Amino acid sequence: MEEKKRIINDLKKIVGDEYVETDELAIRLYAKEASGLEAKALAVVFPQTTKEISEILSYAYEKDLKIYPQGASTDLAGATTPEEEGIILVFDRMNKIKEYSIVDSYIVAEAGARLMEINDLLAKEHYMFPVDPASQKSVTVGGIINSGAGGMRGAKYGTMREWVMELEIVLPDAEGTILRIGCKTTKCRQGYDLVRLIVGSEGTLAVVTEATLKITPMPENVVTGVGFFDTLEKAMDAVVGIKKARITPYIMEFLDEKTVEIGKQGLNLEWEARGHMVLISVDGPIEAAEKYAKIIEENMHKAGATNIMIAHSQEEAEKLRLFDLRRACYPSAIQLAAQSMRGPESKPFVAIEDIAVPPSRLPEAVKRLRNLEKKYNLPLVIFGHVGDGNLHPTTWVDASDENAKKRLWEMFYEIMDIALELGGTISAEHGIGTLKKKGLRKEFEVKKSLKALELMREIKRAFDPKNILNPGKVI
């Protein structure tokens, strides 16, 4: 107990008394994440400068104190909750947007800056940062870098690894070494690509304090089409046809028929929603709107769509509420999970999977996932980013029902097996954390590449020799 008091007092000397939180209820708020996992911590610390973080990591190295960097805690893979007693590092006070250049196509922001605020600023210049995780209203720069986030616009823009140019990081060593890696120029060769090594490392290698992010012009116009199909094969025929039309979709999303039925409850849509849904957006000049609309509509009709709606602009799409069903997927699952609980002592645990398969294998993947629903007698919502083959099967149980939780985890791992058997991956954009470590090993076993895990452990030791930074995650 005396040692803990000394640690708290020492941390207060670095950041100030009011920026070290030790109240148990407050700590609990920061020691849990969107996946539903919860843990404990010694304290929550709110640094304001890179120098303070350097001092904290140097101190942690000396005391063998575990450090858990945290953004908005929207993670879904168990990457942000403490595994051992330590301190949670929160970047709320490091939230400045430092500079941006339209000519040079970048924006510089501290780790705690919110993505929404960055895009609000860039919108005034008709620019944007294109990576758009579902929780984009709350996520921070550091969080989306650590997680390697993606989103609906991934069909065109990919994930975070394509959009981080330069980083300021602090190493968990005796000096709390501060490094700048990467460049503010589009072309940059610095030997091994340390920037991409940090992106998606889930806070296990270094603490990100500042980032230079690549930006891009906002679309002049976006045409959106929604189609409903009575079979999975027909839905995929529409996707294949549009891809072969030599256009790059801006957004390409999918909901299976059961998810459509669940999602439309309470939405009061003015159009018929029945069957498997494909949503496709294409960006381009206003003059091309009619051309893109025709390509989308013709390919959906040719594939056998039972109902098609087309919007020639983003404003029209919002007015028609074409995105409402897709946006309702996860919230609907949360709501259904809460409604399924049988008493005040019951608490829902919602698990959202994050696999990817080659888009051509999506129909088979969805059919096999529906068979799992029957096998494990668990509800299942299936939606995702059809443009890149990323699916998010989502299920839920009563957290107090141990038998149901056992079935959930068995189903969770069998979903990953399906992805691997179809030539895909166990994690597309949510990361590994603690929930997918077993799946990561399985993926490398399938690829006959277990040596990769050894290399990762060696990289971890090189960056973090005492294993004080987010221990227990990824590997």
> Which tens digit of pLDDT belongs to each residue from 191-231?
999 999 999 999 999 999 999 999 999 999 999 999 999 99
**Ranges 36-45, 73-82, 247-256, 411-420, most confident:** 411-420
Q: Report all structural domains of the chain as residue ranges with CATH numbers, in order of start.
A: 2-92 (3.30.43.10), 97-217 (3.30.465.10), 221-327 (3.30.70.2190), 329-461 (3.30.70.2740)
What's the confidence (pLDDT) of residue 342?
Answer: 80
**61-105 pLDDT, tens digit each:** 999 999 999 987 777 677 778 888 899 999 999 999 999 999 999
Give yes or no for residue 182 having a pLDDT over 90. yes
What is the H or E stretch that residue 356 is in? Answer: strand 355-356
**357-397 pLDDT, tens digit each:** 998 898 899 999 999 999 999 999 899 998 889 999 999 99
**288-323 pLDDT, tens digit each:** 999 999 999 999 999 999 999 999 999 999 999 999
- CB 58, CB 175: distance < 8 Å: yes
pLDDT band, very low/low/confident/very high, at 35 (cuts 50, 70, 90): low
Give the dihedral of Cα atoms 128, 132, 134, 137; nearest 10 deg: -30
Give yes or no for residue 256 having a pLDDT over 80. yes
pLDDT-wise least confident of 134-138, 147-151, 452-456? 134-138
Q: What is the mean pLDDT of the chain?
A: 93
Mean local confidence (pLDDT), 128-154: 90
**266 burial level (CB within 10 Å; 0-12, 13-18, 19+):** exposed
CB atoms within 10 A of CB 62: 12
What's the confidence (pLDDT) of residue 302?
Answer: 96
> Which has the closest alpha carbon to 369: 377, 361, 380, 358?
380
pLDDT: which is higher, 349 or 411: 411
pLDDT: which is higher, 272 or 35: 272
Give yes or no for residue 349 having a pLDDT over 90. no
pLDDT band, very low/low/confident/very high, at 344 (cuts 50, 70, 90): confident
The pTM of the full predicted model, rounded to 2 decimals, is 0.91
What's the confidence (pLDDT) of residue 72?
Answer: 72
pLDDT-wise least confident of 69-83, 100-114, 147-161, 404-418? 69-83
pLDDT-wise least confident of 250-264, 342-356, 428-442? 342-356
pLDDT band, very low/low/confident/very high, at 400 (cuts 50, 70, 90): confident
- CB 225, CB 313: distance < 8 Å: no
Give yes or no for residue 45 having a pLDDT over 80. yes
Instruction: Collect all residues with Cβ–Cβ distance below 8 Å to 281 and sequence separation of at least 6.
Output: 222, 223, 224, 225, 249, 250, 251, 252, 317
**64 burial level (CB within 10 Å; 0-12, 13-18, 19+):** exposed
What's the confidence (pLDDT) of residue 1?
Answer: 67
Residue with tokens 């004080």: 468
pLDDT band, very low/low/confident/very high, at 331 (cuts 50, 70, 90): confident
- CB 262, CB 332: distance < 8 Å: yes
Instruction: Tell me how far apart the alpha carbons of residues 401 and 53 are, in angstroms, rounded to a whole number.
Output: 42
pLDDT-wise least confident of 161-165, 288-292, 310-314, 325-329? 325-329
pLDDT-wise least confident of 130-134, 339-343, 422-426, 466-470? 339-343
What's the confidence (pLDDT) of residue 78?
Answer: 75
Give yes or no for residue 36 having a pLDDT over 80. no
